């Protein structure tokens, strides 16, 4: 899950830069399409040895619903991303683990321990400290913050469907179908606003595709090995990745609020990870 966060935060950093010049819907379409292209060697190799049926999902409806939820979430996220600092956008996304933990308890019947709720609460508090200085930047900033927040329930729905799918599907199948469904659903919007990307944009979008495939494969793999609610506090480490990428790519130096909030986030993540390691023995896949 930590590797997933590093890859996806890197993707978001590049998408923030690309979306300054290209419409976010076009960037989203190309990013997803490149994700499928990046997996073509694996896809074709499996088809050559086992036939095309190896990629046909056991739950087509589940894959399609996940695609709808994920496309909606990505659309809201990437539309608002160019208007917010990277660290703020990432921090606002940390409401997603709360929705996921609620959904895991109510829909998947997972037992969410008090320790997990406490870790999520501390991490969420750290997130609030990080974004506190920015709430007074004006109504425009507030509007895009609300749009970003609206993506969280949809990302949570995607994560919960992913967990459900891992019971019958291979992680690679889930990632491939995500790329296909998001590309298909985003295509009409991309065509409507299409402009020819520059060579720099093509390179960045291709990199986004690779990072997205890696990130979502790692996420699906993590969900297959452990309860989805147990993974959520670890997501708060994304704040660290966002801070590093923001500094390297945009020159955004973390301030006192970012450092204080980041310390809380890392502490909560380390504590719950250590607790889960002691209490849970994960069986290796067969």
Q: pLDDT tens, 198-247?
A: 999 999 999 998 888 888 777 777 766 666 666 666 666 776 777 777 77
Instruction: Please tell me the distance from the alpha carbon of residue 39 to that of residue 20, in angstroms, as a whole number.
Output: 27
Instruction: Please tell me the distance from the alpha carbon of residue 158 to that of residue 209, in angstroms, as a whole number.
Output: 18
Q: Which residue in 238, 68, 24 sits closest to 157, CA to CA? A: 68
Apex CA 216: angle with CA 62 and CA 113, to 5°? 80
Q: How do residues 246-264 score in pLDDT, each as one tens digit?
A: 777 777 676 677 678 767 7
Residue 49, SS3? helix
The answer to whether the CB of 76 falls within 8 A of the CB of 195 is no
Cα dihedral 38, 43, 44, 45 in deg (nearest 10): 110
Mean pLDDT score, 188-196: 94
Question: pTM of the prediction?
Answer: 0.76
Report the percentage of the chain scoring pLDDT > 70.
81
Residue 164 half-sphere exposure toward CB, CA atoms < 13 A: 20
Confidence band, pLDDT 50/70/90 cuts, at residue 55:
confident
């Amino acid at each position: 899950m930590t590797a997933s966060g590093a890859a996806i935060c890197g993707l978001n950093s590049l998408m923030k830069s690309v979306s300054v010049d290209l419409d976010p819907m076009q960037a989203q379409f190309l990013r997803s399409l490149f994700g499928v292209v990046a997996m073509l060697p694996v896809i074709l190799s499996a088809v050559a040895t086992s036939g095309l049926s190896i990629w046909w999902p056991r739950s087509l409806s589940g894959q399609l619903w996940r695609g709808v939820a994920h496309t909606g979430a990505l659309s809201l996220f990437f539309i608002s991303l160019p208007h917010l600092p990277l660290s703020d956008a990432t921090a606002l996304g940390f409401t997603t683990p709360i929705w996921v933990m609620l959904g895991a308890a109510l829909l998947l019947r997972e037992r969410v321990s008090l320790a997990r709720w406490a870790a999520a609460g501390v991490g969420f508090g750290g997130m609030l400290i990080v974004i506190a200085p920015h709430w007074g930047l004006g109504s425009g900033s507030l509007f895009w913050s609300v749009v970003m927040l609206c993506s969280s329930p949809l990302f949570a729905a995607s994560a919960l469907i992913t967990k459900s799918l891992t019971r019958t599907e291979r992680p690679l199948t889930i990632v491939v179908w995500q790329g296909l469904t998001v590309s298909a659903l985003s295509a009409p919007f991309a065509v409507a606003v299409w402009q020819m990307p520059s060579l720099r944009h093509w390179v960045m979008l291709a990199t986004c595709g690779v990072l997205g495939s890696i990130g979502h494969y790692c996420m699906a793999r993590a969900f297959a090995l452990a309860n989805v609610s147990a993974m959520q506090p670890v997501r708060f480490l994304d704040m660290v990745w966002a801070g590093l990428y923001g500094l390297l790519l945009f020159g955004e130096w973390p301030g006192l609020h970012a450092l204080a909030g980041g310390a809380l986030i890392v502490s909560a993540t380390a504590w719950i990870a250590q607790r889960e390691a002691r209490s849970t023995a994960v069986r290796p896949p067969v």
